[in-house]
A and B are shown apart, each in its own frame.
Chain A
Amino acid sequence: MHLTGTFNVVDNVQFWMSTDFSPATGLTVKWKGNNAGSYQTPTASTSSVATSSIPTSDPGTANVSIGGSLSGQLVAAGYTDYIVLQLQTTTSAPAGDTSLAVFTAQYDES
């Protein structure tokens, strides 16, 4: 996530999926936000990085790292660590139609 503009400190970065898919049948999102390493090329295979279920509500504490740490801070415009997401489907996912979901990010800025 790219943070721009003027600030003293940005920290406590959180990420979640606010809504489930609509329709949601056969669809799940796996993710990794803490120390996810380098950029991951999209793949049709099961990711070895995005392996956890994504939170579906405000996690309450930081879950996206900065500089490899959940307590990391940005003191000037810059990037958090990568957020890696993978949409996984089963055969029960309906063909054709697309689904909608809302992804949310939150951080503290002083």
Chain B
Amino acid sequence: MSGASYSKLTGRLLYIPALAYLAAFGVFPLLLSIYYSSPSSGLSSYVALFEFPQLPIVIRNTLIFSFGTAGFATLLGLLLAVFADSLPRGSRLASILVYLPFTVPFTASALIWTTIYDPIYGPANYFASMMGLPRLNWLGQPSLQIYSTTIVSIWSSVPLAFLLILAGLRSVSNSVREASRMDGMGLGDYYTNIAIPLSKGSILTAFLLTLILAFGNFDLPYILNSGYSYSMATLPFLVWFEIFYQNLISQGLAAGVLLTAL
């Protein structure tokens, strides 16, 4: 074997294990799920899915949940990142406090928020009444459920957006920062005109990443929706519910394909 082709072969050895694994346990199951979504009866599962009266509600919920999460997480993440970046000292402590929710798994945060949302003894209503809001049944009232779920999701997603945006703000070089200070720019001017425009990329990344992750989030809507009601179901929940709970496998798989394709 010649030296060049030997080196090419060993070069391939670098990525073949990863490729083989991802093909076998990622791409193959995906194709399998798509294949089984249309059994011998053709496209009937898709017809059933699109005739399913709750589908528009589920899609609406999914959009509220994912865009609400991404929008608010990015906005709060940006403000907190500017805050942490502008602090002369203590920005390390601020960062630790901001990313604390990131360390709590979705499962645990959903359960903790269940107690916070408790209509009688939960602190959510306590704080709401201090601000003059009426007492709410956060997880019980159908028109409110998806928004309560989205608040938990925002809570969990702010840290990720914060970390991404802070890294962007930090990558503005010190010479630019010092030059702006020498020119007599205030902090507000520095951030609106220099630092934020320069870290546009990381802000966009934060938005897109939180959006995509929220869109596929199963854990939060699953735990908070322990009554399995459609009024707070999102698409990933619907897929699991139909396949593993109701045994409507091909219809659930069709919903999965819809989820993949959207």
Specify whether A and B are partners.
Answer: no
